Amino acid sequence: MQDEPKSPDDRPRRKRHFLLRIDSWIDSTVWNLGFTLGEIWEEITIFSRKFRVRGCKRIGFELAGEAMTLGTAGFVVLLALAQPAFEETKEDWRNRGDFAVTFLDRYGNTIGHRGIIHEDSVPIDELPDHLIKAVLATEDRRFFDHFGIDFIGLTRALSENAKAGGVVQGGSTITQQLAKNLFLTNERSIERKIKEAFLALWLEANLSKKEILSLYLDRAYMGGGTFGAAAAAQFYFGKNITEVNLAESAMLAGLFKAPAKYAPHVNLPAARGRANEVLSNLVQSGLMSEGQVIAARRNPATVVDRADVKAPDYFLDWAFDEVQRLAKDGKFREHSVIVRTTIDTGLQQAAESAMETSLREYGESYKAKQGALVMIENGGAVRAMVGGRDYGESQFNRATRALRQPGSSFKLYTYSTAMENGFTPESVISDAPITWRGWSPQNYGRSYKGKVTLLTAMAQSYNTVPVRLAKDYLGTEAIVATAKKMGIETPLRTDKTIPLGTSEVTVLDQATAYAVMPAGGMQSRRHGIGQVLGYDGDVLYDFNRDEPPASRVLSEQATSSMNRILTQIPVIGTARRAALDGGIVTGGKTGTSQSYRDAWFIGFTGNYTTAVWYGNDDFTPMHNMTGGSLPAMTFKTLMDYAHQGIELRAIPGIENPLPTGGHKGTEVAKKDGEPGLVLVRPRSLSAESTRILRQIGENLKKAGPLAPAGTKMADAGGTVSETEPAKGAPVITPVSGELRR
């Protein structure tokens, strides 16, 4: 019997039946799964009711549950906070100080040392027992009992400080202080304290107590430009650290708290008083008896008589970082080197004196406690750097690390971008109210002048004009790009407020960028290291030899236009107090941030560029200090000194760039009734003598080697002649090498 032929609809029908079966299976499976899970949950609920707590006990369980929830959330927050701290440990932190660097100034004089292996580090087991006890009794009595953070000691310190009405005890452990020395700065901020706490825990987990104590004794600043107890013992007592007695150990232990205040070569009575406190700490902590310390009380330590010559410590710290950067970049491999820096000790002392005198005379009335300054010679060499008032009190370098709002001094980059885009100092733009995405900036006096030239707008520091330039013509990205090309290394934001200087920069950044103007639009190539030498005399690194030549960052037209504007600001603008004596042409710009938290003046001549900043570490406002007041006055004090007796250079692109009479140095004398400090630069050589000696030096560099007697040489005209020795001069014969006359 033959099969009946299949209908064409059979195949689709079977496919539909198959899909229906799958759908039915999914529905039944999901329902069964849900039913089963519901039964399981009901059983769990019934079982859990057996453990239900009622009455007063329930409060405890509820609190425990909330504590677990908050604890979990807190753990996540702590983990997030710890991440930035642990980032600091990724580098080879153990060998950060594994350099022995002797620093020379620009003239070859020794100005300081940096690096741990400079003063051979002594193992902790070889240090005198009384030195270890003195340090522990004074800095961290519970060092061997805590895990990096001493909550008992912190509570005790808070209690004592509350009783005294001020800070008389610190709560930081030795581990926390080491974390700060190894990884962080002395900047006073909550962020730094959080990092310090996490890093202290990390150090305790990765190092033994003995290693932590050894590193602390090796790396702490001890005053007098010394780091570590071994270097301090050599500097103050002229002996090895293993040979110090109890009185000397007490004096060294007293330096950790405030090395500048208690440095014995500066204030011996204060150092001895502090040492006596350390001896009392030894007795109170039970580490020694009164009978053991009585001899040290009666015979306090004496120190080596040293002249109070201040080292440029802020500069040396920055230069040491630069040495390590160059080594990391493969410029040289040796770690024991001699570095010839660019610092001029005369200008450095003048810079420190100008800033300190300004703060002493006006700081209280302006409510300003800190300042920073960088001076760069045109060509890029850093000649002076002031990172704060007192290195012993705070080693935080405000010139290179503090990020502060530049205010109107940032307008340099906005106007420079405009000049690159076809504007001129005579271009007219409206000084009128403006709103940009809900933001309405105002001028300092809350008044508007209508149509003004760009020269007038920048000289008078009108705020609406740069904002209008950025909004209608330039864009913030172009302004930021110009700032980076000119030398700003700090990351910058590109928001709408950037034309008025709301993005933070450093003092060194500002000095670098403004130095482009007297360089004619070329890179300023800031640097603090001229040469790195090995102890065998080999030149391992030479800035002029190993660094690329300066490239152009601003066109000649834009540079000329900006210099025409900037040189008018000390004449008709906001920086009249910055105008130098002797008719020396000066350019620059003032800057004042919101609520008077920062005050700037950055100015230049044909010879030097100097950036000056004043403010407070805790960002509290000053009392109406503007960039045209104390910063401009400090700039003038230093620059008047710097230009005494030197050959003046011209600022490019302006008319009459030099005083009448040409390249003559200026002499500054204090006028009757003139306020402020006048520094007088000591004279050694006249400007003309200096110029001639420099020319001789350049000629000697270009000259070839001396030829021995009898050598035939051709002059410029092609005439061949035979050299002869001078009459009576000793001669070494080429063959034998013997000396003959």
What residues pair up with 603 in beta bridges, in sequence order?
588, 610
What residues pair up with 610 in beta bridges, in sequence order?
375, 603
Euclidean distance between CA atoms 733 and 722, whole angstroms? 15
Euclidean distance between CA atoms 653 and 83, whole angstroms? 51
Euclidean distance between CA atoms 131 and 253, whole angstroms? 7
- Tell me the two tokens of residue 421: 């885009």
CA nearest neighbour of 593 among 617, 562, 614, 567: 614
The DSSP 8-state label assigned to residue 472 in this structure reads: I
Euclidean distance between CA atoms 290 and 298, whole angstroms? 12
- Tell me the two tokens of residue 628: 């045209």
Phi–psi pair at 450, nearest 5 degrees: 80, -140
Euclidean distance between CA atoms 314 and 603, whole angstroms? 22
Euclidean distance between CA atoms 22 and 94, whole angstroms? 67
Euclidean distance between CA atoms 512 and 517, whole angstroms? 10
Contacts of 626 (CB under 8 A, 6+ apart): 574, 590, 592, 596, 599
Alpha carbon of residue 191 to chain centroid: 17
Euclidean distance between CA atoms 252 and 232, whole angstroms? 7
One of 139, 204, 377, 420 is an active-site residue; which one?
139
CA nearest neighbour of 588 among 599, 578, 598, 580: 578
The DSSP 8-state label assigned to residue 336 in this structure reads: E
Contacts of 666 (CB under 8 A, 6+ apart): 580, 581, 582, 584, 640, 643, 644, 645, 648, 659
Unique residue bearing structure tokens 């001890």: 222
Euclidean distance between CA atoms 350 and 354, whole angstroms? 6
The DSSP 8-state label assigned to residue 710 in this structure reads: T
Euclidean distance between CA atoms 508 and 240, whole angstroms? 39
Contacts of 100 (CB under 8 A, 6+ apart): 113, 115, 116, 117, 118, 335, 336, 337
The DSSP 8-state label assigned to residue 465 in this structure reads: H
Helix H, strand E, coil C: the string for 41-105 is HHHHHHHHHHHCCCCHHHHHHHHHHHHHHHHHHHHHHHHHHHHHHHHCCCCCHHHCCCCEEEEEC
One of 172, 214, 358, 408 is an active-site residue; which one?
408
129-139 vs 209-219: helix crossing angle, rounded to 10 = 90
Euclidean distance between CA atoms 177 and 219, whole angstroms? 10
What SS3 class is residue 614? strand
Burial class (CB in 10 A: 0-12, 13-18, 19+), 135: buried
Q: Are 135 and 217 in contact (CB under 8 A)?
A: yes
What SS3 class is residue 329? coil
Give whole-number Cα distances, 413 to 121, 391, 463, 513, 516, in Å: 48, 33, 14, 9, 11
Residue 629 appears among annotated catalytic residues: no
Residue 524 appears among annotated catalytic residues: no
Euclidean distance between CA atoms 246 and 129, whole angstroms? 9
Spell out a b/e string for 330-354, using b for 16 or more CB atoms within 10 Å of the CB, else e: ebbeeeebbbbbbbbbbbbbbbbbb
**Enzyme catalytic residues:** 139, 408
